[in-house]
Amino acid sequence: MPKVATNIPNDLYKKIEEEVKLGMFSDFSEAINAALKQAYAKKSRTYLRWLIKKEGITETSMLKELENIRR
């Protein structure tokens, strides 16, 4: 897996450190990976909402297409 180096604000570092101490994550790397995954998922959902709106896709048409796929 590629490695990435970054600078983070002290307050964010302290929050991550606290979550590791509380046992929410086993180490900093796990906490950072989880945060990156969440951020990317949010970005992806935002993009998909924008694309659906731009293309004029309705919820009804999406559900109908899903039904067709499941058959």
pLDDT value of residue 4: 85
Domain residues of the chain, as ranges? 10-70
Give the orientation angle of helix 10-21 with respect to helix 28-55, to 10 degrees: 110
This prediction has a pTM of: 0.68
In this structure, the number of other CB atoms found within 10 A of the CB of residue 70 comes to 6
Q: How far is CA 36 from CA 40, 63, 70, in A?
A: 6, 30, 32
Q: With bands split at pLDDT 50, 70 and 90, how would you rate the model's confidence at 1?
A: confident
Cβ atoms within 10 Å of 22's Cβ, excluding its own: 8
Residues 45-64, mean pLDDT to the nearest whole number: 94
* pLDDT score recorded for residue 46: 97
Check pLDDT > 90 for residue 11: yes
Coil, helix or strand at residue 54 = helix
In this structure, how many other beta carbons lie within 10 angstroms of the beta carbon of residue 16?
A: 19
